[in-house]
Chains A and B, each alone.
Chain A
Amino acid sequence: MKILVCISKAPDTTAKIAFTDGDTKFDEGGVQFIVNPYDEWYALVRGLELKEANGGTVTVLNVGGADSDPIIRKALAIGADDAVRIDAETIDALYVAKQIANYAKEQGYDMILAGKETIDYNGSQVAGMIAELMDAPYVSLASKLDMNGNTATIEREIEGGVEVIEVNTPFVLSAAKGMSEARIPNMRGIMAARSKPLTVVPASEASTSTAIKGFTLPPAKSGCKFVDTAEELVELLHNEAKAI
């Protein structure tokens, strides 16, 4: 089974969010970058579990510059066999999806896994775009993935429930909570990661479709109004906030 896991570089969940260049760029100063948690905890770890059960390989793929290499090594330390970095700027989701699809088309992967969204742009776009560009089925926000030969049984979140889907390889899937439990790399994994292959491939020609004009921070809350009793709270929620 040949598995591709797409990983994105994201600021740590506790990073301070600030902007530079007239509020048009994320301020990376002092920010620790991590593997996007959905990509790592759910897509990558489930990919590794499937490989351990059925045999095969897990390749991680990142679109980005050399500053992505530390998070790629982390994914290798967790257990991926090898890595590919497409040396392209992450201009927009469709541009990134085209880079991945152009590369993956020639590789014959049985499945392409990614997290349900990144924690920076929260787009939930790239995996679905890859599927369309490769004319493959796409199952979004999957919470369970089991393989039986070439057939996958997948559970997908829907409003107020879960849908059970069957699909044959090759397919594309975005992974949500429930797929697997996070793994912490051990020393052996970290040592082995240093010598695992990381292939850098050049960007392919692709058009862009969106451009960020600027960022703003949410207005500060005007402050918490402290009340003493439950009765007072209910009264304020009813008459002042009009929320109940």
Chain B
Amino acid sequence: MSVLIYTDSSNGALTKNAFEAANYGGQLAKAAGTDAIAVVVGSASGLEDLGNYGISKVMHVSDASLDNFDPQKIAHIVAAAANETGADTIVFAHDYTGKSVAPRLSAKLDAGLVTGAIALPNGNVVKKAVFSGKAFAEIEITTAIKIISVLPNSLDKVETGGSAEVVAFSVEIPTTGITVKEIKKESTELSLTEADVVVSAGRGLKGPENWGMIEELAKELGAATACSRPVADIGWRPHHEHVGQTGIAIRPNLYIATGISGAIQHLAGVNGSKVIVVINTDSEAPFFKAADYGIVGDAFEIIPKMIEAIKKLKA
């Protein structure tokens, strides 16, 4: 009986989402009166920091061959760690790594999986958003071992203080068919899914040459930039900025939408945001119905004034 948490690392350090998963697993273990144990693969340091989120022990498979992502190997290692610790609950972050590994592990262990959990489980029942955020489902996991992947930015962090014990974990690593050839970073821009604040714009901006003020506002707020689908489709902005049902789904603390009418498909990608601000010249824009704050007006007047007001606020 214990909670096992897969905490992902990148470039030698734990990721932001790794701490999200640890926080979830740590709180879960505390509520169940059991231990929270993390498993880490590849070269990574600073693992004892996981103790601050209730993790008592970190099992580290430090083989450098694991620095290159391979979900088949990770699933094999997490299964071995689950076997070793007798874990009955296994936690992942619902991010790119979690989406690759958790389903494999579910099939390997014949263990029920709920992805994208937004709250701690109630017994064996896990709550998640479904229908692209238009509803929630409560799903019971009926198998002895339960796997849950937690949606980033959905559970408040509880810092417990303390330092985790890091132990080397030795496991035979299977050979698999995947070779990572290259990693292309988009740029040094903040990743959209990890950003706390996102500034987004749509066709209301009239042309790609007008994005300067959006980028400046984002810079002032430490925010990532995003766009609506039409804008990505006509090539004003890169596709990786497209948020919505068929693009990227995000749930930042603050989402500022400028010149986006708010089609249902766009809302599906952003309706998990905590605070939504809409700026649009059309007072009938459907986006206002989903907004917390709204300004009916011209973005070309409002955005520069917002930038000024934020600069003043920071001064």
Contact = CB atoms under 8 A, between A and B. Distances in A.
Interface of A: 11, 13-14, 17, 19, 37-38, 41, 92-94, 97, 116, 119-133, 136-141, 153, 156-168, 171, 177-178, 207-218, 221, 224-231, 233-238, 241, 243-244
B135 A207 contact: no
B71 interface: yes
B306 A230 contact: yes
Interface stretch (B31-39, B83-91, B285-293): B285-293
Main DSSP-derived SS at the A contact region: mixed
Interface string B189-221: 111011001000000000000000000000001
Contact of B142 (A209, A224, A237): A209
Contacts of A166: 178-179, 181
B187 to A, nearest CB: 8
B305 A231 contact: yes
B151 to A, nearest CB: 10
Contacts of A231: 305, 309
Contacts of B100: 128, 138-141
A38 B265 CA distance: 14
Contact of A244 (B130, B185, B197, B247): B197
B138 interface: yes
Given A133-B107, A218-B134, A224 B291 contact: yes
Interface in B260-315: 264-265, 268, 271, 274-275, 277-278, 288-296, 302-303, 305-306, 308-310, 313
A159 B10 contact: yes
B177 interface: yes
Given A122-B130, A237-B275, A228 B310 contact: no
B171 interface: no
A227 B143 CA distance: 51
A139 B113 CA distance: 19
Nearest to B265: A13
B106 interface: yes
A198 to B, nearest CB: 27
Contacts of A139: 100, 178
Contacts, number: 269
Contacts of B245: 13, 37, 119
A218 B133 contact: yes
Contacts of A163: 69, 180, 182-184
A225 B294 contact: yes
A124 B103 contact: yes
A210 B130 CA distance: 15
Contact of B184 (A123, A162, A217, A244): A162
Contacts of A124: 94, 99, 103, 115-116
B52 interface: no
Nearest to A159: B191
A178 B232 CA distance: 11
A233 B104 contact: no
B99 A128 contact: yes
B57 interface: no
B184 A234 contact: no
Closest 5 CB pairs of A and B: A128-B103, A209-B112, A230-B305, A132-B107, A160-B191
A218 B176 CA distance: 43
A128 B102 contact: yes
B96 A167 contact: no
A122 B254 CA distance: 23
B103 A243 contact: no
A209 B110 contact: yes
